[in-house]
Amino acid sequence: TGSSDPYCIVKIDNEAIVRTATVWKTLSPFWGEEYEVHLQPTFHSVSIYVMDEDALSRDDVIGKVCITRAMLAEHPKGYSGWVSLSEVDPNEEVQGEIHLRVELLEGEGGRRLRCTVLEAR
């Protein structure tokens, strides 16, 4: 139909932590959701999977963005910008990108990561 029903799943070291709401019938979703999660000192990566909800079969993976510990070290004040999706299945073509803002927060509760998925296209 030329549109998608996208949502995101956020995983820390391959463990699903957050699922956003589905934005129905669009190729340019806006979520307006924000989550803060506690990062263990030994974490390796935070991955954001962009999914296409499908009522009749298994949801499709559109692509993913992986934020590694090394990437966060390269941007100690955070990062904001468009990031291209990478493939999850090497047999699938991936098109699209997400506008992402990532901030490392230090506080009394320890180290936290604020990752905001602003929009996608």
102-114 pLDDT tens trace = 888 877 777 777 8
52-92 pLDDT tens trace = 999 899 999 999 999 998 888 898 888 899 999 998 888 87
Domains (range + CATH), the chain:
6-120 (2.60.40.150)
116 vs 13, higher pLDDT: 13
In eight-state DSSP terms, residue 63 is: E
1-58 pLDDT tens trace = 678 999 999 999 999 999 999 999 998 888 888 777 777 878 899 899 999 999 899 9
The reported pLDDT for the residue numbered 1 is 61
Dist CA 1 CA 25 (whole Å): 9
